[in-house]
Amino acid sequence: MTDFKENVYAAVALIPKGRVATYGQVAEMAGCPGAARAVGNAIHTNTDPVKVPCHRVVDASGRVGSHYGMGGPSVQRQRLEAEGIVFAADGTVDLARYGGVIEHHPLEPFLPPTGKVLFLGSFPPPQGRWSMDFFYPNFINDFWRIWGWLAFGSKDYFVGEGKHFDKERIVAFCRDRGLAFFDTARKVCRLKGNASDEFLLILEPTEVGELLAQMPSCRAVVTTGGKSSEELAAIVRAAGVPAVGEAKTVVVDGREVMWYRMPSSSRAYPMRLEQKAAHYRVLWDLVR
């Protein structure tokens, strides 16, 4: 089996039950953007529909394949319907509802020239969940409550009117204290329409060294959660990741920095806000 076919099969295996991906999306997931036709050829020779659920691959308009190799298009449709997918009257799948979504990072890196600490998450949640167009925008994420608690003694210091954060106040604070932000991925495939890292497939990792090059005073990198920590380890070729709340020295493009791993600021992470803030306090000591 060729490397290309192996990559295609591995990509198809990631498509969860009740979702679909197009041939073009599978090509990107396999690391070969633009190779949609070759993906179709590879899938046509699949002999293990359980391990490689090729019935979950449709064309760019959401139609099942006219030459589905496991019984024809009617069988492919039946298998998708058995997984809960509803077809439109014209025989197409609603890709907005059921399709894997490939996204480029919607924000530019925030890199103050005097930045001291670079925070790296995994990837922003879907924009429908944002309360502001800045990093950690989900209102039920506690990142900015942690910093309000640490810097001003109030978890609501950065909360604005309604269920929104005060972006202007946050940006001013970050510039003043040298807090920089981006994520470990520039392009992802979101296999489910939620904010969970579990369903993010990273297609293009971030060149962390390029970010650090713009901040000569930055000597600390922080990952906030498991996915971002695993990805940073791969980017800098580190042997493992620090335990939560701990740090290790890594070299990024010949530059030595401290890598701190903080607990996730998501409320799904099983730790009280006060406990998370206790871990983050070491970072406040670096910038206050």
Return the active site residues: 54
| The two three-digit tokens of residue 256, written as one number | 């030595």
Are residues 125 and 137 in contact, defined by beta-carbon separation less than 8 angstroms?
A: yes
What is the three-class DSSP state of 261? Answer: strand
Buried b (16+ CB within 10 A) or exposed e, 148-161: bbbeeeebebbbbe
H helix and E strand count, the chain: 10, 10
Sign (positive or negative) of CA dihedral 113, 114, 118, 124: negative
d(CA 143, CA 279): 12
